[in-house]
């Protein structure tokens, strides 16, 4: 990273300089013509220089990248790689240009129909433009820049609005010791955020427990109002009442049918007595 302080001096653009990470050795993959390498960090790489191991080599190649191992590969660049040797003159393909890519894992697939890259290791150099920070120098140096809080709200102003035609002086920033994160008065602190999270979880558990207690009490009240076995007792009582009613009806029918018979029998008996008495009387009168 380069830091610029707005002040007097010769105007020079920091993004005209490019940082390079060289000496990256690509490892051969399981398939022919396949090579893998890592840039070593999330650098905004926009240039790749592929150094072929053998002279007089020409091979088309496609470069892929992905953020994490096991992720999907996406194509970022393609070109024809060559290294031609003509006496004391050697020509190499220019650096591959690509959009700034922070993926650290790269894969190169070379066309092997012309023999590929031959023997030897493929070496890679990754280039990117360093980040530039412009600020108004107020106070005495050295100045301290804190980075690393991704949740902080940016208060940056556009560079064109800040400089308004003024020149800037380039200064090199170096990485210092880690510092404690200063609390922002407008944002919540990590401790308060953790406390809020714990309170929310406690409220959720309390609500679930209250619902469970209410459901348990309702179940108990319903079980006390309708005990087990009441349904069978009511059914048995109803069946007994029906049986008694049927028996009473049968007895009434029997009594009704017996009453005419008893009335007829005395009449018949009287008639028989009269009949038996009449002949006897007649005989008695004849004798007289």
DSSP H helices, 37-88, are: none
Per-residue exposure over 7-18, b if at least 16 CB sit within 10 Å of its own CB, e if not: eeeeeeebeeee
DSSP code, position 16: G
Entry pTM: 0.50
d(CA 216, CA 283): 103
pLDDT digits (tens, 9 = 90+) for 110-138: 999 888 898 888 999 999 988 777 777 77
Q: What pLDDT is recorded for position 142? A: 78
Q: What pLDDT is recorded for position 21? A: 92
The two three-digit tokens of residue 200, written as one number = 């929310």
Domain spanning 18-128 has what CATH number?
2.60.120.260
What phi and psi, each to the nearest 5 degrees, are found at residue 259?
-65, -50
Q: Does 4 have pLDDT greater than 70? A: no
Q: What pLDDT is recorded for position 260? A: 44
Q: What pLDDT is recorded for position 183? A: 55
pLDDT digits (tens, 9 = 90+) for 152-183: 777 777 777 666 566 667 677 777 777 676 55
The sign one gets for the Cα dihedral 50, 53, 59, 63 is negative
Domain ranges of the chain: 18-128
Residue matched to tokens 């399981």: 30
d(CA 253, CA 248): 9
What phi and psi, each to the nearest 5 degrees, are found at residue 285?
-70, -35
The two three-digit tokens of residue 170, written as one number = 């380039």
Give the H or E element holding residue 4.
Answer: strand 2-6
Q: What pLDDT is recorded for position 270? A: 43
Q: What pLDDT is recorded for position 69? A: 84
Nearest to 61 by CA among 106, 19, 22, 103: 106
Q: Which residues contact 251 (CB under 8 A, 6 or more apart)?
A: none
Question: Which of 12-26, 62-76, 231-245 is least confident?
Answer: 231-245
Region 272-280 average pLDDT: 41
Distances (CA, A) of 131 to 12, 43, 151, 159, 262: 14, 10, 19, 13, 130
pLDDT class of 151 with cuts at 50, 70, 90: confident
pLDDT class of 287 with cuts at 50, 70, 90: very low
């Amino acid at each position: 990273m380069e830091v610029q302080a707005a002040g007097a001096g010769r105007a020079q653009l920091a993004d005209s300089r490019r940082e390079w990470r060289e000496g990256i050795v690509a490892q051969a993959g399981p398939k022919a013509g396949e090579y893998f390498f890592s840039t070593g960090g999330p650098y905004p790489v926009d240039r790749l220089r592929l150094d072929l191991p053998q002279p007089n080599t020409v091979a088309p190649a496609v470069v892929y990248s992905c953020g994490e191992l096991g992720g999907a590969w996406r194509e970022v660049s393609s070109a024809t790689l060559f290294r031609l040797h003509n006496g004391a003159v050697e020509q190499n393909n220019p650096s591959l240009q690509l959009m700034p890519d922070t993926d650290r894992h790269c894969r190169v697939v070379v066309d092997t129909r012309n023999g590929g890259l031959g023997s030897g290791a493929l070496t890679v150099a990754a280039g990117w433009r360093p980040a530039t920070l412009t600020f108004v120098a107020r106070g005495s140096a050295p100045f301290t820049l804190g980075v690393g809080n991704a949740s902080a709200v940016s208060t940056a102003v556009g560079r064109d609005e800040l400089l308004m035609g003024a020149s800037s002086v380039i200064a090199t920033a170096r990485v210092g010791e880690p510092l404690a994160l200063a609390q922002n008065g407008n944002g919540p602190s990590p401790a308060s955020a953790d406390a809020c999270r714990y309170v929310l979880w406690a409220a959720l558990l309390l609500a679930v427990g209250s619902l469970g207690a209410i459901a348990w009490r309702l179940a108990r009240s319903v079980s006390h109002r309708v005990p087990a076995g009441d349904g069978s007792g009511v059914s048995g009582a109803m069946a007994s009442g029906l049986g008694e009613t049927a028996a009473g009806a049968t007895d009434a029918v029997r009594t009704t049918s017996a009453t005419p018979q008893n009335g007829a029998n005395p009449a018949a008996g009287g008639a028989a007595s009269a009949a038996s008495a009449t002949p006897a009387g007649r005989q008695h009168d004849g004798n007289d």
